[in-house]
Each structure stands twice: as C-alpha cells, then as structure tokens.
Amino acid sequence: MKIFAVIVTYNAMYRGWIDRCMKSLSESTVPVTAIIVDNGSCDGTREHVPSAYPEAVWMPQENNLGFGQANNLGLCYALEHQADYVLLLNQDAAISPDAIQQMLAVSDGKSLLSPLHLNGDGTRLDELFRITLKDAHNLMNDDLLIHHTLADCYETGEVCAACWLMPAALLQCVGGFNPLFFHYSEDNNYYHRLVYHHIRTLIVPHAYMYHDRKLFGNQKAHDHGLVRRELTLAACNINHSLAQRVADYLRVLFRHGLSVSFFSGITWLLLHLRSIYHSRKEERQSGLTWLNLS
C-alpha cells in the first residue's frame, strides 16, 4: 500500500511547525511519503526543508498558489505514483503515531476519513472541529456516556481539511480543489461535492490530530474576502437549486448587511459567471476534475 502525505507550506518555520509535522509522520506506524509543496516561503522554509528532509518530495513554487491549488499539485504527484491513499495535512498540524493505522482499519476504500482534531497540546478539541462535530456528537455522547465505549467511526458532516485521509478512489471520482477558492472555503466546497457524489465523511475517534491554532490559522487571511467567499460558495453549491442559492445569498446579506464587501462580492460573482457556470458543470462530473495528471 502506497500512502503519501501532502503538506502545503508557507513560512512553516513559525513555532517549529514543519519539524513537528514531519516528526509525527516519521513516527507513524504506517509508512508514509511526504510531498511538500511550498507556496513561496520567505522565512527559511525553502532552505530548511530540502536539507532536513531529503526523503520528502520537495515541490517549491515561485508564487503563492493558495491552499487548494498547491494541494492539487501534491495530489497529482501522488496519483501519478500509484497512491492508494493521500493524507492532506496542514503545516501547523501533527498526527498521533497510530492515526493513519486507525483510519485505514475502518476505511471502505471510498469515504473521506478524519481523525479527531485536537488543539496544539492535545488537551481539548479544536474549537472549529467542535462546531463541525455537531452531526456526530450525539451518537458519540450516547456511546461514551451510556455504553462507556466508542464505535470505530461515525458519519458526520464537513470537517476542516487540516487532516483528511483520502482514498485514491475518492479522488478519481471527485477530483481536486476548485480553483475559484484561493485560501479558505475550498474544503467547504469540496464537502458539497462529496455530498453530491454520495461519498461519506467518517470521523475515527481513536485517531488523533493536533492542530496548533486558536481559531483560524491566519485570522487576517480568513477575514479578507470573507463575504466574496461566502457568496461564491453559495453560487458553486451543486446540491442547491437556483431558488436555494438565492436564499443563500440573502442569508449572506443578512449576516453582513449592505456593506462595501457585499457589493464587491456580488460584482465579483457577476464578472465570473462563466467560470462559476463551468465550475458547477465540472463538479457534477465524476473524474479527476482540476487534477491535470501528466
């Protein structure tokens, strides 16, 4: 079995992120090959990584491609080298030694798999993961509080892409990340596509990931273009009819009001209607969408 881990880096020397991430992969009970795609770091990452980790596949980029498109490069490399599974792992994250083993043990070869996302020191759940856990937490609470045990996995809704184990069959059906999303919301869009193609998302409670952040990895980057991303996410949702998408736009309006950001977001949508139409058409098709394998 061939398993690759795709790690997108951007100034990953901060707090020793990349070293902690790579150390956790080296301690995995299941062998994994790291593919590191660097988005033009300027903090020493580009000098440190190829020197410290010569065994990793090093893919430095001259420009910042964003999270989704950089991951797409790594996914292409993995599939071209006959990957059975690909682990997407954030630069500010680390996995427990048996995390991949635990996820493989419950894999059906098609579903998206996620460990529990903990905070950096493993003392609490990651705050955003706690919110996304809502679709599974009732069953987990019942099992834990009544039966004093946990099932091997639980079906849930969308989970942050900081740590996804993706079978090759899933990638061959759904493809890569939508290029309309530069950074943030690309995983929300991907979840919409998983739902459309009837692919489940499973949480594996005996597998752990440690995410060193407070809420968002980069609050400034998250807030920049937030309204435009929310509108684009609604426009690209292939599970929703036109009426449902209009309702989604109105919800964005109610959240943010008649602000400059809202009008600039609507303007952006109008200017990119062709790309959005093409995007929705592509996402409905099964295949290696947005993964340009050689």
pLDDT tens string 142-197: 899 899 999 999 999 999 999 999 999 999 999 999 999 998 899 999 999 999 99
Tokens of 286: 């099964």
What is the pLDDT at residue 135?
76
pLDDT score at 293: 86
Q: Name the residue with tokens 């530069």.
A: 182
Stretch 40-59: mean pLDDT: 97
pLDDT 10s digits, 16-37: 999 999 999 999 999 999 999 9
Mean pLDDT of 122-140: 88
- The 10s digit of each residue's pLDDT in 213-253 is 977 666 666 677 899 999 999 999 999 999 999 999 999 99
pLDDT band for position 138 (cuts 50, 70, 90): confident
204 CB contacts (<8 Å, ≥6 apart)? Answer: 102, 103, 106, 113, 114, 115, 116, 152, 153
Model confidence at 291, pLDDT cuts 50, 70, 90, reads: very high
Cβ-contact 166, 79 below 8 angstroms: no
Backbone angles phi, psi at 129, to 5 degrees: -65, -35
pLDDT at residue 217 in the model: 67
> How much is the pLDDT for 221?
66
Mean pLDDT, all residues of the chain:
94
